[in-house]
Amino acid sequence: MELLASIRSQKSSLPLIHLINNDHFRQRVISLQAGSDDVLSFPFALEELDARIEALIRRVGMETDHLEGALRKHADLELNTETREVNRAGIIKKLTVKEYDLMMYFLQHPGQTLARKAILHAVWGQSWTGDDNLLEVYIRYLRKKIERPGHDKLIQTVRGMGYLLK
């Protein structure tokens, strides 16, 4: 975990897959919160590791293909893609790796209702089989950082469907 924290503290966007011995969901959550892009537990098939690496490379390539400069803007929100900082109403907040990935996914699909499973697969990987509650936790984290009193709520819950960046 220290290595993950060290890499992420240097603002590295290097895709990371954390290989763990323990398949307990709590260990996977801790690893993801520490900065892993994906988690794989022993024993695993090399084909699965290859597929996860390819998925990460695709996702990173997809993100960089859509970037237009260092700032992504939506309404009164700005996301700095180099520093992973979000600015709304003059208040700048640093995003964790997964908060950033989640915000980027919303910014790539503004005004679209996004299904929970689609978000989980896009942000945590196609093979995500963990607790769906993780998405609600990260939506709450993101809302705390971007919502401001007197401003419209940007991330809206669409009951029974998913979420929407308004």
Please report which residue ranges of 38-162 form alpha helices under DSSP H: 46-66, 97-108, 116-124, 133-146
Residue 45: the pLDDT is 84
Are 142 and 128 a contacting pair, CB within 8 Å?
no
pTM of the model: 0.59
* Domains contained in the chain, number: 1
Residue 67: the pLDDT is 46
Tell me, what CATH number does 82's domain have? 1.10.10.10
pLDDT digits (tens, 9 = 90+) for 16-66: 888 888 777 888 888 888 888 888 888 888 888 888 888 877 776 655 444
pLDDT digits (tens, 9 = 90+) for 98-144: 999 999 999 999 999 999 988 998 898 877 677 778 899 999 999 99
pLDDT digits (tens, 9 = 90+) for 146-166: 998 888 899 999 999 999 999
Give the domain extent around 121. Answer: 2-165
Amino acid at 136: E
pLDDT digits (tens, 9 = 90+) for 61-107: 655 444 445 888 898 899 998 889 999 988 899 999 999 999 999 99
Residue 12: the pLDDT is 62
Residue 159: the pLDDT is 93
Burial code (b: 16+ CB inside 10 Å, e: under 16) for 82-102 equals eebbbbbeeeeeebbbbbbbb
